[in-house]
Chains A and B, each alone.
Chain A
Amino acid sequence: ENVLTQSPAIMSASLGEKVTMSCRASSSVNYMYWYQQKSDASPKLWIYYTSNLAPGVPARFSGSGSGNSYSLTISSMEGEDAATYYCQQFTSSPSTWTFGGGTKLEIK
């Protein structure tokens, strides 16, 4: 089983601050997905294939990484960005999807 470890588990940022969160895979993966989830709402696909923003996602978000190490970055924190972010990867043979434990981003 490929385990995804997200860090930090909880973080806070001031408005306008740059934010970076990490997702590490126990085995190398080809790409990573990211989801945003706000309280009492369903998750939303946020970034696909490591670095592509889903429709409607602000350009201040970016994703990067390869192999075992991936990250999500917000260039300038805004209030609406406070949420929990989950990374996700896919493994074939057998087909399995795994989520990280999440990073909760709060406003400082």
Chain B
Amino acid sequence: QVQLKQSGPGLVQPSQSLSITCTVSGFSLTSYGVHWVRQSPGKGLEWLGVIWSGGSTDYNAAFISRLSISKDNSKSQVFFKMNSLQANDTAIYYCARNGGTRGGFAYWGQGTLVTVSA
């Protein structure tokens, strides 16, 4: 079945970068796009960006200067990197698979709680 498993640090120091890996199974990254979404404590969902099956990317304009998404199709891994983190970047970060014919975000990773603190 379709699974997305995230791995990454729980604590990041201010001004440092965040790297999270999303390892997928049950589908090929050459067939589906993978999105990244975050949720600040007690707040709603915020779309960050997507890497499409062909490797192109789209980013939320608010993060385009400090966000990078890449992937390794052979390893079924998607890589998320955000630079210059501050306290207000504290959030749960999710990867999610494009829904295919349904659209939307049909499958989600378990989330990575990232705290930005010294």
Contacts and interface: CB of A to CB of B under 8 A. Distances in A.
Interface of A: 31, 33, 35, 42-45, 48-49, 52, 54, 86, 88, 90, 94-102
Interface in B3-47: 35, 37, 44-47
Interface in B44-66: 44-47, 50, 58, 60-61
Nearest to B50: A95
Contacts, number: 58
A33 B58 contact: no
A33 B104 contact: yes
15 contacts: A31-B103, A35-B105, A42-B110, A42-B111, A43-B45, A45-B106, A52-B102, A54-B102, A86-B44, A88-B105, A94-B61, A95-B58, A96-B60, A97-B50, A99-B45
B106 A54 contact: yes
A54 B105 CA distance: 11
Q: Is the interface of A mostly helix, strand, loop or mixed?
A: strand
A92 B96 CA distance: 19
A47 to B, nearest CB: 9
Given A95-B58, A96-B58, A102-B44, A88 B110 contact: no
A44 B45 contact: no
Contact of A48 (B44, B45, B46, B103): B103
Top 5 nearest A-B pairs (CB, nearest first) are A42-B108, A97-B47, A99-B45, A33-B104, A95-B58
Contacts of B104: 33, 35, 45, 48, 88
A52 B111 CA distance: 26
Given A94-B58, A95-B50, A86 B45 contact: yes
Contact of B47 (A31, A42, A44, A98): A98
